[in-house]
Amino acid sequence: MKEVLLLKCGEIVLKGLNRKTFEDRLLKNLKRRMANVADCNISMRQSVVYVEIPDEADGDAVMECAKRVFGFATISRAAVCPEKTLESVIGTAKAYLAPRFAEAASFKVESKRGDKKFPMTSTEISQHVGGELADLFPDVRPDMHHPELTVNVEIREQYAFVHAGPEPGAGGMPIGSNGRAGLLLSGGIDSPVAGWMMAKRGLELVGIHFFSYPYTSEQAKEKVFELARKLSAWCGRMSVMVVPFTKIQEEIREKCHEELFTLIMRRFMMRISERVAEEYGCGALITGESLGQVASQTMPAMAVTGAVCSLPVFRPCIGMDKEEIVRIARRIDTFETSILPYEDCCTVFTPKHPNTRPKMPKILEAESRLDVDALVNEAVAGIEIVHI
Ligand code: ATP
Ligand code: MG
DSSP line for 104-165 = -SEEEEEEEE--TTSSS-HHHHHHHHHHHHHHH-TTSEE-SSS-SEEEEEEE-SS-EEEES-
Q: Are 242 and 209 in contact (CB under 8 A)?
A: yes
Cα 287 to averaged position of ligand 2 atoms, centre (Å): 10
- For the CA of 347, the closest atom of ligand 1 is 10
Whole-number Å distance, alpha carbon 325 to ligand 1 midpoint, is 14
Ligand 2 midpoint to CA 186 (Å): 5
Residue 270 beta carbon below 6 angstroms from any ligand 1 atom: no
| For the CA of 294, the nearest ligand | 1
Q: Tell me the average pLDDT of the chain.
A: 95
Instruction: Indicate the pTM of the whole model.
Output: 0.94
Say yes or no: CB of residue 210 within 6 Å of ligand 1: yes
Whose CA is closest to atom 2 on ligand 1? 188
> Percentage of residues in the chain with pLDDT exceeding 70?
97
For ion ligand 2, residues whose CB falls within 5 Å: 186, 188, 344
Which tens digit of pLDDT belongs to each residue from 168-203?
A: 999 999 999 999 999 999 999 999 999 999 999 999
Q: Quick check: CB of 246 below 6 Å from ligand 1?
A: no
Q: Whose CA is nearest to atom 20 of ligand 1?
A: 287
Q: How confident is the model at residue 102 (pLDDT cuts 50, 70, 90)?
A: very high
| pLDDT tens digit sequence for 107-165 | 999 999 999 999 999 999 999 999 999 999 999 999 999 999 999 999 999 999 999 99
Cross-strand partners of 9: 72
Distance 161 CA to ligand 2 centre (A): 48
Instruction: Kindly state if the Cβ of 189 falls inside 6 Å of ligand 1.
Output: yes
Closest Cα to atom 18 of ligand 1? 288
C-alpha to C-alpha distance for 83 and 89, rounded to whole angstroms: 8
| Ligand of minimum distance to the alpha carbon of 227 | 1
Res. 346: pLDDT tops 70:
no
pLDDT tier, 47 (very low <50, low <70, confident <90, very high otherwise): confident
Residue 286 makes CB contacts below 8 A (sequence gap 6+) with: 181, 182, 183, 184, 191, 194, 195, 198, 203, 205, 313, 314, 315, 316
How many other CB atoms are found less than 10 A from the CB of residue 22?
A: 21
pLDDT band at 15 (very low <50, low <70, confident <90, very high): low
Percent of the chain with pLDDT over 90: 88
For residues 372 and 365, what is the distance between their CA atoms, to the nearest angstrom?
A: 12
Counting atoms of ligand 1 from 1, which one is nearest the CA of 287?
20
| Res. 13 pLDDT band, cuts 50 70 90 | low
Instruction: Kindly report the number of other CB atoms within 10 A of residue 134's CB atom.
Output: 15
Give the helix/strand (H/E) hosting 225.
helix 218-235
For 186-195, what is each residue's pLDDT tens digit?
Answer: 999 999 999 9
Residue nearest (by alpha carbon) to ligand 1 atom 4? 188
**289: CA distance to ligand 2 center in Å?**
9
Cα–Cα distance measured from residue 358 to residue 224, given in angstroms and rounded to the nearest whole number: 30
What is the rounded CA–CA span in Å between residue 249 and residue 247?
Answer: 5
**Quick check: CB of 296 below 6 Å from ligand 1?**
yes
Question: Does residue 286's CB lie within 6 angstroms of at least one atom of ligand 1?
Answer: no
- How far apart (Å, rounded) are the C-alpha atoms in residues 130 and 125? 8
Contact 34, 42 (CB under 8 A): yes
Quick one: which H or E segment has residue 9? strand 3-9
Q: Residue 78 C-alpha to ligand 1 middle, in angstroms?
A: 43
Angstrom distances, CA of residue 381 to CA of 9, 147, 210, 217, 315: 42, 63, 13, 21, 27
Pocket flag, ligand 1, residue 209 (CB < 6 Å): yes
What single-letter DSSP state applies at residue 315? -
According to the model, what pLDDT value does residue 187 have?
A: 93
Q: Tell me what pLDDT residue 69 has.
A: 97
CB atoms within 10 A of CB 255: 13
CB atoms within 10 A of CB 79: 20
- Checking if the pLDDT of 11 tops 80, the result is no
Query: Before 174, cis peptide (omega within 30)?
Result: no
3-state DSSP percent of the chain in helix, strand and coil, to 5: 45, 20, 35
Lowest-confidence pick of 280-289, 290-299, 319-328: 290-299
